[in-house]
Amino acid sequence: MQIHIKTYGCTLNRADSDIVESAALAAGMRLTDEQDADVIVVNTCTVKAVTERKILERLARYEAAGRRVVVTGCMASANSDLIERYAPGASIITTPNAHMIPGLAAGVAGGGRFVIDRYSRRDAALGAGMRSGVIARIPISDGCLSACSFCETKRARGPLNSFPEGSILRAVSNAVANGAREIELASQDTGAYGLDRGTDIARLMERISGIDGEFMVRIGMLNPEHMHRYIDRFISAMADRRFYKFVHLPVQSGSDRVLGAMRRNYTISSVMGMFGRLRAEVEGITLETDVIVGYPGETRSELEETFAFLESARPDITNISKFAPRPHAPASALPQFPNDEVKSRSSEASRRVRAIQHSINEGFIGKSVDVLITEKGAHSANGKTRSYRQVVISEGHESVALGTWQRAIIEKVSANALYGVLA
């Protein structure tokens, strides 16, 4: 039995695909290219309309070609009606049940169609870390505690379900024993981890610090809403050199009115406070954020407030998204801006962000940095510094092994990466 897994979306989705992959290999299946596969697994994402369209087009192509397909991921929970419209022959297995896919694959290949849409609480990072490359993605929870007005993922993943600390620690230890050098803790909202279990992400970080070995840990995106509960312990836990000095706090808007409309449950001054503390207390930290422009009703002066936040907080990385209504999200019922207006706001925001990022990165020219090599391509070896800054090494890349630390001198930069030569 040969399967092919196609993954869209976030780190959590990639972590879930790793789980399916591990279970398939354990069941004696082979992973293969799309054209040779008996069964194609499509792990889907609902965050952006443009991605959703691409997925549906792909499913329709598979359907027309008579391919045997299993759809999982957020669309399987949130938009199964669309899947049934575009690919009526595809099986649909919701994410918490995705580990069952290999067990159903023979039936799917033989023409069967399965729909498992019940919501099951996964109680562990099932199989995570059993098969790792240099990077192991470990899911730590499903769902979140928020109800952001623009978000459809909540509908797909449900309420917060944090996995037990013990199962996560076992998954991390397994991954490290199997050769992983970078551990990505994956979740919809890492900041909410444990709040349904009387614990939190800072406590999990303290426990991970107790695991022996040489590895780096990347903490996933944290909704700023919960950070105030544990920021002191979070900053202390970051002192372990094996945590990347990197925090991703998606602010979404610089306007308190828009944040309220988005139901984000924090103010811009509280986020400024977090940025300030993290910068002051975690040496060399890289701060990433996300911003949505063109939210329904966003005025010019509210957009300016977002720009003012960016100019003053100067995040090292900012991901700009154009607001796009998602079918089941409350904000989709509000009057929308024309596409051109949203596009022009996004272009303006992107121009400003590129300028900020480029000027921050210029400060690295001539500096010597340690880089953990996590990816090798035909023309370069790519890796991350201890502050999770992306470094590309071209000259001499052939001699550089995956999973090793290399010292590099930064020669040039772009808005998104540093380019170095081996020291």
237 within 8 A of 243, measured Cβ to Cβ:
yes
> What is the smallest separation between the CB atom of 188 and ligand SF4, expressed in angstroms?
4
Examine residue 151 and tell whether it contacts ligand SF4 (CB under 6 A): yes
Q: Does 167 participate in binding ligand SF4 (rule CB under 6 A)?
A: no
Contact status, residue 43 vs residue 318, Cβ threshold 8 Å? no
Task: Name the residue nearer to ligand SF4 (CB basis): 95 or 390.
Answer: 95
Interacting residue with ligand SF4 among 189, 200, 302, 316 (CB under 6 A): 189
Query: Which one of residues 153, 187, 357, 382 is an interface residue with ligand SF4 (CB under 6 A)?
Result: 153
> Is the separation of the CB atoms in 63 and 69 below 8 Å?
yes
Asked whether position 286 contacts ligand SF4 by CB under 6 A, the answer is no
| Residue 75 engages ligand SF4 in binding (rule: CB under 6 A) | no
State which of residues 7, 11, 188, 361 lies at the interface with ligand SF4 (CB under 6 A). Answer: 188
Cα–Cα distance measured from residue 181 to residue 383, given in angstroms and rounded to the nearest whole number? 11
Q: How many CB atoms lie within 10 A of CB 89?
A: 15
- Non-local (6+) Cβ contacts of 355 within 8 A are 415
> Looking only at residues 216 through 235 of this chain, which bind ligand SF4 when binding is defined by CB under 6 A?
223
∠ CA(174), CA(407), CA(412), 5° rounding? Answer: 120
Q: How many CB atoms lie within 10 A of CB 359?
A: 12
Query: In terms of CB distance, is 97 or 252 closer to ligand SF4?
Result: 252
Q: Which is nearer to ligand SF4, 8 or 86 (CB)?
A: 8
The least distance separating ligand SF4 from the CB of residue 145, rounded to whole angstroms, comes to: 7
Question: Residues 162, 166, 170, CA angle at the centre, nearest 5°?
Answer: 115
For ligand SF4, the closer CB: 46 or 132 = 46
Q: Reduced to 3 states, what is the DSSP secondary structure of residue 92?
A: strand
How far apart are CB 223 and ligand SF4 at their closest, in Å?
4
Q: Could you tell me where the DSSP H helices lie in 222-318?
A: 231-237, 256-261, 268-281, 300-313
Q: Shortest gap between Cβ of 205 and ligand SF4 (angstroms)? A: 20
Greatest pairwise CA separation for the chain in angstroms? 60
Take residue 174 and report the two structure tokens written for it: 């397994």
Q: Binding to ligand SF4 by residue 146, rule CB under 6 A?
A: yes
- Which parts of this chain interact with ligand SF4 (CB under 6 A)? 144, 146-148, 151, 153-154, 188-189, 223
